[in-house]
């Protein structure tokens, strides 16, 4: 995953370019192994949780087992 990744450059935001963005993202995802996809997912989840905490949101909801 540390290889040089291509960059998609677009001028405006129209439907054709949205399709290009989607195809670009899907092509990137296809290059990842299952392990890399999970690592990316967990890393992004941690980043989102950190941003929420920095902006005043409480700790994410936890599932608590009732006894």
Closest by CA to 33, choosing from 60, 4, 1, is 1
Stretch 20-48: mean pLDDT: 93
Stretch 27-44: mean pLDDT: 94
The alpha carbon of residue 13 and the mean position of all alpha carbons in its chain are separated, in whole angstroms, by 20
How many other CB atoms sit within 10 Å of the CB of residue 8? 13
The alpha carbon of residue 35 and the mean position of all alpha carbons in its chain are separated, in whole angstroms, by 15
21/29 Cα distance (integer angstroms):
12
Tell me the per-residue pLDDT of 41-54, one tens digit each, with 9 for 90 and over. Answer: 999 999 998 998 88
Q: Is 12 helix (H, G, I), strand (E, B) or coil?
A: coil
Question: Rounded to 5 degrees, what angle do the CA atoms 10, 18, 45 make?
Answer: 100
Domain assignments of the chain as residue spans, ordered by start:
15-54
């Amino acid at each position: 995953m540390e290889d040089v990744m291509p960059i998609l450059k677009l001028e405006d935001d129209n439907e054709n370019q949205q399709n290009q963005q989607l195809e670009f993202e899907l092509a990137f995802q296809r290059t990842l192994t299952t392990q890399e996809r999970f690592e990316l997912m967990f890393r992004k989840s941690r980043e989102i949780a950190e941003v929420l905490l920095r902006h005043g949101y409480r700790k994410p909801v936890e599932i608590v087992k009732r006894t």
